[in-house]
Chains A and B, each alone.
Chain A
Amino acid sequence: EVQLVESGGGLVKPGGSLRLSCAASGFTLNTYSMSWVRQAPGKGLEWVSSISSSSSHIYYADSVKGRFTISRDNAKNSLYLQMNSLRAEDTAVYYCARDSPRPYDYWGQGTLVTVSS
């Protein structure tokens, strides 16, 4: 059974940092591209970042470019999102999702990031 489990969310002050993790099971991570998608409270879905299976292609939304870094450790079957210089508008539930073979075919339960003083 494919499972994605996010962790690392929490309350952080503006300007602070957090590192999110996504542990994959039920499939071998190293053959799939992966993404982070976020959802602000009461709002819709927003793509944040994507990484190819070999990490050779990495993409970011303009809203997080220069502040967030996506990475993966295929040996640990894990995906990461390092978030620096956090702002109030980054407050959201962050989901990891598998990009293939069907776009966003599996999602984790999400981890809540709250940026507030």
Chain B
Amino acid sequence: DIVMTQTPLSSPVTLGQPASISCRSSQSLVHTNGNTYLSWLQQRPGQPPRLLIYEISNRFSGVPDRFSGSGAGTDFTLKISRVEAEDVGVYYCMQATQFPWTFGQGTKVEIK
């Protein structure tokens, strides 16, 4: 199985400041079809997960443009340009390139 490793596991951030989360996979996430199926999910407290970003850098419907994704191969990053109070929660990277799809451990974003 592909192992997804996120850093940091906790990220205290000041409102209005940027935040960045890294995700590394144990093997390349480039599919044989050329696509890279790396997604980012957000889970607010008491809520189910929600898709934010798919295929490295594509924002899902309704996701604010302060969220952006980048990376390639085995190294990926989620950035929040200016953290707002509603961004508090746990963020997971996940890969859907190889079955079984696997998740990172999660990164908790909280306000300082």
Contact = CB atoms under 8 A, between A and B. Distances in A.
B48 A95 contact: yes
Interface stretch (B17-25, B70-78, B80-88, B100-108): B100-108
Contacts of B109: none
B67 interface: no
Contacts of A105: 51, 54, 60
Interface string B43-59: 00000111100110000
A109 B103 contact: no
B68 interface: no
Contacts of A106: 51
Contacts of A37: 49
A60 to B, nearest CB: 9
The B contact surface, by secondary structure, is loop
A50 to B, nearest CB: 8
Interface residues of B, number: 21
Contacts of B41: 45, 104
A106 to B, nearest CB: 8
Given A45-B103, A102-B60, A109 B48 contact: yes
Scoring A104, A105, A107 by chain B CB atoms within 10 A of each residue's CB, the highest score goes to A104
Contacts of B39: 102-104
Given A44-B105, A108-B48, A103 B54 contact: yes
Contacts of B54: 102-103, 105
Interface residues of A, number: 20
Contacts of B51: 102-106
A89 interface: no
A47 B102 CA distance: 7
A59 interface: yes
B48 A59 contact: no
Given A104-B51, A105-B51, A107-B48, A47 B100 contact: yes
Contacts of A73: none
